[in-house]
Amino acid sequence: MNVSKNIFSPISKHTAATALLVLAFYFFSAVPSICAGAEGAGETSGPGHQGAIKNAPALFSSRFFYEPNPPASFTSATPEGQVTVQTTLRPELQRRLMSCFAHAAPLIAAAVVLDANTGAVLAMGNQTTKAGVRLLPDGANNYCLYGEFPAASLAKMITASVALEKKGFNSSHLVPVSGRYHTLYRSQVGIENAPYKPELVPMLKAFALSINPYFGKMWLDSFTDRDFLDMGKDMLFNMPLEFELPVTKSRMVPPTDDFQRAELASGYNTRTTLSPLHAALIASLPANGGKIMRPYIIDSITDANGKTVYQHMTKTLSQPLSPRSASQLGELMQGTIQNGTARGSFTYAKQIGAANGWTMGGKTGSIDLPEHTGRCDWFAGFGQTNQTSIAVACILVHGAQRTMHSSFVGAEMIRACLDPTSVNKQPAIQAKTTKPMPSKKESPPTPAVAPRPPQKNKNPSLQATKPESKKQKSPQQKTGG
């Protein structure tokens, strides 16, 4: 007997339609529009019953992320009434971050600290000057979400990830390098004949010291364009980044010739761009098994009656690396702190970390903005204990003088996260004004390619024999991170 055929036969079509409309009205009116589904920036799924936050930027005051001590919980007026917003910010970390910025005097300072396992933003702060706002006005609302900063040598994290994940290389992989470490000439990557006998450099040393020609030549010798661009896609370049607040897309431009490939691999260009939030997510890979979590800053929202109208739910956005490759990337990033470009900034943090079993790693980068209007100084890294896994990214844009390295800010924030007793203490060192950077008119010519003198290194794995050299005439080349 076909029961389903006649079960609704006593009800007219008109009555059924009316009943459905009534049910739909009560269903949708039960969900405040502050959490109604909406496409675009700011959409964040709840635990299955709320849809998404609508117009999340309106919940925050315009200068919220510039305040020295923004509240972790606050009330905000909406068209539906007053709501209470509970953020993920930790006030003690926010104060430490803004204290570090207060010791510096860059044109722009922006940094993000997040929980690597969940994506929760633990601290997010900005500081700028009028000159900084004139320099980059589009990001002034919140430079932490501004995706137009040149990525500089942070791009080497992408190149190293391709080598580890797609090619199966390890930290001992050797590439011949000739000439200076922080220049990039066609002769250094094999496009033109090199006048020097090259040295074989392992990846661990190349990453720690940010050796540009190593990464450029490794791409030309071993990668395809698709290898790199696919990794960029897996790391969420050229696409909207899911977050409650609008984030400018980080940009990766496909290369058109071999020298552009070398520039892209080493970060020796201004076409590859990155936001501090996105940089922190990439730096979190070693601390989270190769996964990128959706970042979030709103944990929950309650209405005037105390009813929860939104509750965050964690979500994995991508997994660019296997756990094995992520661990290997972490080893490379540890080299930056132990023997590389961030070793000085982490002196105090390493002393404490060695006694408490911390694992810390990072990557530095520096490059001029287009037209030499400012100098971008990057650090992105991670810190781990048995209970805590965090990631941090900081960018300082300097003018004529540099007063603090971004790697120092990174070290202080990692120390504050892993050592709760340190958050109420003063920073480990005070900022010092360095010699003014030469102006554009006074910039000395870039020297021709010449080998670096032999350097002593206590770590045998970073040793390489330097060849004999001879003079070379070469066109001037811009300097980069």
pLDDT for res 80: 84
Q: Long-range pairs for 187-193 at CB < 8 Å and ≥24 separation?
A: 187/449, 187/472, 187/474, 188/212, 188/213, 188/216, 188/217, 188/449, 189/213, 189/216, 189/217, 189/220, 189/258, 189/259, 189/262, 190/217, 190/220, 190/221, 191/220, 191/258, 191/259, 191/262
Helix, strand, coil in percent for the chain, rounding step 5: 35, 20, 50
Task: Please count the residues of the chain.
Answer: 481
Residue closest to 116 by CA, chosen among 391, 412, 411: 391
Question: Domains in the chain, ordered, with CATH?
Answer: 91-294+316-432+449-462 (3.40.710.10)
- Assess contact for 405 and 397: CB atoms under 8 A: no
- Assess contact for 157 and 363: CB atoms under 8 A: yes
Number of Cβ atoms within 10 Å of the Cβ of 3 = 6
Give the whole-angstrom CA distance, residue 151 versus residue 325. Answer: 22
Helix and strand numbers (H, E) in the chain are 12, 15
Which residues are registered as beta bridge partners of 390?
A: 115, 383
Residue closest to 260 by CA, chosen among 194, 216, 229, 207: 216
- The residue written with tokens 């959409």 in the block is 43
Encoding tokens for residue 364?
């530095």
For residue 332, CA distances in Å to 102, 318, 444, 461, 462 come to 31, 21, 33, 12, 11
Encoding tokens for residue 412?
């202080």
CB proximity list for 19: less than 8 A, separation 6 or greater: none
Give the whole-angstrom CA distance, residue 466 versus residue 179. Answer: 10
Give the whole-angstrom CA distance, residue 221 versus residue 205. Answer: 19
Q: Report angle CA 189, 279, 259 to the nearest 5 degrees.
A: 20
pLDDT for res 405: 94
pLDDT for res 444: 38
- Assess contact for 364 and 345: CB atoms under 8 A: no
Per-residue pLDDT of the chain (481 residues; tens, 9 = 90+): 444 444 334 445 455 445 444 444 443 343 344 454 333 344 444 443 354 577 899 999 989 999 999 999 999 998 888 999 999 999 999 999 999 998 878 999 999 999 999 999 999 999 999 999 999 999 999 999 999 999 999 999 999 999 999 999 999 999 999 999 999 999 999 999 888 889 999 999 999 999 999 999 999 999 999 999 999 999 999 999 999 999 999 999 999 999 999 999 999 999 999 999 999 999 999 999 999 999 999 999 999 999 999 999 999 999 999 999 999 999 999 999 999 999 999 999 999 999 899 999 999 999 999 888 899 999 999 999 999 999 999 999 999 888 889 999 999 999 999 987 765 555 555 444 444 444 433 333 333 344 444 444 444 444 443 433 333 333 333 445 5
CB proximity list for 408: less than 8 A, separation 6 or greater: 100, 345, 427, 429
